[in-house]
A and B are shown apart, each in its own frame.
Chain A
Amino acid sequence: MTIRDETTVTHASDIAWVGSPERVVILRLSSLAAEPLTLTGSAAVIWQAVSSRRSIRDVVSEMGEVYGLPDEEIRESVVAFVSECLAQRVMVDVGS
């Protein structure tokens, strides 16, 4: 799927997760035989930024402030991470 700036995402409803600023562990409640997913570094920060519905534009902007980098440099990483989370079904696209 194509992820645009206005694409809005949040966590899937059938997960449990625990997190600190540096690390997040996600359990897929619909796939309990699977091992939990562990996110560290910027992935953990992005994950926690989408606890409530957020557009890619907002996430990129927030990450830019956190890491002191221009949005263009951040956007590619955010989109790649969100794509992976959508593929793993731990995030959902809730529209624009």
Chain B
Amino acid sequence: MTDALDLGEAVELGYPLASGVAAAHGIRLLCVKGPILGSQGLRDQKQSVDVDVLVEPAKFDALRAALVAVGWHQSGTYNTPGIVPLHSVTHRHPCWPVELDVHRWFPGFLADPSTVFEAFWQRRTSATLAHAPVPVPDHVSHAALAALHYLRDSATAWGQENLSQLAERVSRWEASELGELSDFAARTGAAETLGSFLVRVGAPDAGDGAPLVVSLSDWSMRAEADTQVVLPWLVGLRRLPWHRRPKYLAWSLWLNDAHFRAQSEEPMTRRDVMRARWRRLRRGLGAFPAARASARSLRERRAGDDDSR
């Protein structure tokens, strides 16, 4: 009675699975993005390629352990730098052709992650996926999450196109819903990161809200960067004091064997690891000029913004 799952089946069943694992351990979790955005009228219905969940930050590790216990292993290593702090990890199962991304927060919500989760949780509702009820954000909070997801890549055609489509839909909302969107942005530290989107859809000014614990400049750098190859390493390097930079540089060039093994679907010999390491170095060298130019341009823009304040 068992057969290989296809991607569509895996995505739709993956949400109740994650929700079921969380419920079995008393962990609060919300199913986000994917088919839920479509069912809430926030995008066209289209095939999603992964399953995304937002978990209460204090139970992030507990959920990951619970997923591992039912065969969903952590995929990849998470010791490489990002412009914004680590916000999610990916789990995979050998029989499921889909990745399960567990988020403890989403970039762009700059308030304390627990505060952000509580704001989402208070506005939760239920959706039916694979004939099973799952907890999801309501359409207002979900629109904020989707907008930040697209704004994060606003330097790309993908981000711009999806943001335009979302804005077109949200701009048709009632004034009361737009007011709720602004309130939600203020409560979650997203008044500034969502500012341009709120103006675009005709929502009122969000004003001040929750104190910010995540750097706005990191978010801006991530959203404005036109490349994600090599650039996070350069940003990571600049953030370090001089005395720690040589070790960081050596690590960034070489990485450890576990990093490459975790990226591979197949077992790797030492020779395979060395080949992968050289391929990565060649790719990095090729991408370096663009990343350096991007880093310089972002620094200059930041300096210009600071001068104009």
Binds B, one of A1-9, A36-44, A54-62, A63-71: A36-44
Within 8 Å by CB of B70, from A16, A32, A40, lies A32
Check: B24 CB closer than 8 A to any chain A CB. Answer: yes
Within 8 A of A (CB), among B79-116: 95
Residue in A27, A33, A38 whose beta carbon sits within 8 Å of that of B16 in the complex: A27
Note all chain A residues with C-beta closer than 8 A to B24: 32
B3 close to A16 (CB less than 8 A): no
**Identity of the chain A residue whose Cβ is nearest the Cβ of B15 in the assembled complex:** A16
Number of A-B contacts (CB under 8 A): 54
Q: Which of B2, B8, B131, B132 contacts A36 (CB 8 A)?
A: B2
Residues of chain B within 8 A of A35, CB atoms compared: 2, 95
By a CB distance below 8 angstroms, the chain A residues around B52 are none
Q: Would you give the shortest CB distance from A11 to chain B, in whole angstroms?
A: 8
For the complex, is B71 an interface residue (Cβ under 8 Å from A)?
A: yes
Q: Which residues of B contact A15 (CB under 8 A)?
A: 131-132
Please report the total number of B residues contacting A with Cβ < 8 Å. Answer: 21
B17 interface hit (Cβ, 8 Å):
yes
Q: Which residue of B lies closest to A11 (CB)?
A: B131
Interface size class of A (residues with CB under 8 A): 10 to 19
Residue ID in chain B nearest A85 by CB atoms: B1
For residue B12, which residues in chain A have a CB less than 8 angstroms away from its CB? 16, 18
The verdict on A25 contacting chain B, using a C-beta distance below 8 Å, is yes
**Closest residue of chain A to B20, judged by CB?**
A29
Q: How far is the CA of A16 from the CA of B16 in the complex (A)?
A: 7
- B106-133 CB mask vs A (1 if < 8 Å, else 0) is 0000000000000000000000011110
| Known contacts A16-B16, A38-B1; A33 and B69 CB within 8 A of each other | yes
Least CB separation from B96: chain A residue: A36
The CA of A35 and the CA of B5, in the complex, are separated in Å by 10
Q: How far is the CA of A25 from the CA of B131 in the complex (A)?
A: 11
Give chain B's interface residues, CB within 8 Å of chain A: 1-3, 5, 8-9, 12-13, 16-17, 20-21, 24, 69-71, 95, 129-132
**Chain A contacts to B: CB under 8 angstroms:** 11, 15-18, 25, 27, 29, 32-33, 35-40, 88
* Top 3 closest pairs, chain A to chain B, by CB: A16-B16, A38-B3, A16-B132
* Residue contacts A-B, CB under 8 angstroms, 26 given: A16-B12, A16-B130, A16-B131, A17-B13, A17-B130, A17-B131, A18-B8, A18-B9, A18-B13, A25-B5, A25-B13, A27-B13, A27-B17, A27-B130, A29-B20, A32-B17, A32-B20, A32-B24, A32-B70, A35-B95, A36-B5, A36-B13, A38-B1, A38-B2, A40-B3, A88-B1
